Structure 1
Amino acid sequence: MNTATHPSESHEKLWDLIKDIKFGMLTHRHATGMMHSCPLTTQNKKLDEDSQLYFFISRKSELASALAADANVNVSYADPGKDSYVSVSGVAAIREDQAKKQALWSAPAKAWFAGGVDDPDLALLAISIDHAEYWDVKESKMVQLAKMAAAAFTGKQPRMGEHKELNLS
């Protein structure tokens, strides 16, 4: 496993892997203490230099309450068709930034927030990324199967694709 620490390289690779994935699964600690996940739409147009992901959530939601109690989160992204998987860990916070809301607003968000970008229930959730890890397989399915067959025969674990950890804090 490799570790990349150059910020621009990290941002570019991370954004390249998640930009086309519509939903991230945000995992947080539920009030009961159990881990809980929910799908959220990433609102970013790009990953900014502050390593933040943005989501719109309801201020009145159970998620908003849970994050007020424990802001440590994980967001996972998967694109099985491309054999690309990303796990992002960080700290969540509600941001009171009307200009950012307006910059990120899109027509599909209106389905959840009928009052538009000025809806009083609309909260901007920012995840400050501390750490990310990804698995990105470029080999074809045929090559993957051949490597797995060879590994089964030799007893050596197959090496496929790229696996890196990114330190963004």
Structure 2
Amino acid sequence: MTAQTIDTSKLWDMIGDIRFGMLTVRGADGRLYSRPMTTQNGEADRGAVIWFFMARSGQPLADLTASPDVNVAYADHDSDKYVSASGTARLVEDPVKKQELWSAAAKAWFPGGVEDPELALVAVLVADAEYWDVKANKAVQLFKLAKAALTGEPPTDLAEHRRARMR
């Protein structure tokens, strides 16, 4: 399957209601580590950048600073929507952007608010995204899977699957 350029609105249609993404970074030991992170994007921030708050003294920030190539994976099992977005992460020193993205939920992690010295703003500049959007209802999915098991032919048309170059 070849990559195609898509409107970023499709990406956000898929992940807009999913609060947490699994951010995967390469650690200093060369291994991959995934951690759940709260996506901070609001309605006005639905382009090819995914925003996160994280602790300045935490391992995730140290890891992505040393090796900025990252992946963010989203899954909504109830809606059968799955997204994998890869790109480059970077620390952003922008107090105005922090204020724009700030929410009451972030205060649980950063009690000092947007002025908290531990609060780091990280942008993931999405280069490529891949998604699977299952359109068939559960009964149709089960039927197609059962048929595939009986015939030995992989199921087809279970989901819309696309790879997209974002920039």
Q: Distance in 2 between matches of 1:152 and 1:62?
A: 44
Bigger shift: residues 151-160 or 57-66: 151-160
What secondary structure sits across from 1:82 in the alignment?
A: coil
- Which residue of 123, 127, 132 corresponds with 1:126? 123
Contact 2:9–2:46 (CA under 8 A) maintained in structure 1: no
Paired AA for residue 163 in structure 1: H
What is the CA deviation profile of residues 88-132 of structure 1, one whole-angstrom value per residue up to 9, with x for unaligned ones? 000000001111110000001001111101111111000000000
Which segments of 5 or more consecutive residues in structure 2 lack a partner in the other structure? Answer: none
Q: Distance in 1 between matches of 2:36 and 2:146?
A: 35
The TM-score normalised by the length of structure 1 is 0.93
Q: How does 1:148-159 map onto structure 2 within 5 Å?
A: 148-159=145-156
What secondary structure sits across from 2:18 in the alignment?
A: coil
Which segments of 5 or more consecutive residues in structure 1 lack a partner in the other structure? Answer: none
Is 2:104 the counterpart of 1:107? yes
The TM-score normalised by the length of structure 2 is 0.94
Contact 1:2–1:163 (CA under 8 A) maintained in structure 2: no
RMSD: 1.3
Q: Distance in 2 between matches of 1:123 and 1:30?
A: 18
Q: Distance in 1 between matches of 2:152 and 2:36?
A: 38
Q: How does 1:8-19 map onto structure 2 within 5 Å?
A: 9=7, 11-19=8-16
What is the CA deviation profile of residues 35-60 of structure 1, one whole-angstrom value per residue up to 9, with x for unaligned ones? 101000000014444x1000000111
Bigger shift: residues 150-159 or 11-20: 150-159
What is the CA deviation profile of residues 15-42 of structure 1, one whole-angstrom value per residue up to 9, with x for unaligned ones? 0110111100000001111110100000
Q: How many residues align?
A: 165
Following TM superposition, the consecutive aligned residue runs of length 4 or more in structure 1 with deviations greater than 3 angstroms are 1-4, 46-49
Is 2:55 the counterpart of 1:55? no
Q: Distance in 2 between matches of 1:155 and 1:65?
A: 47
Q: Distance in 2 between matches of 1:149 and 1:114?
A: 51
- Percent identical pairs in the alignment equals 51
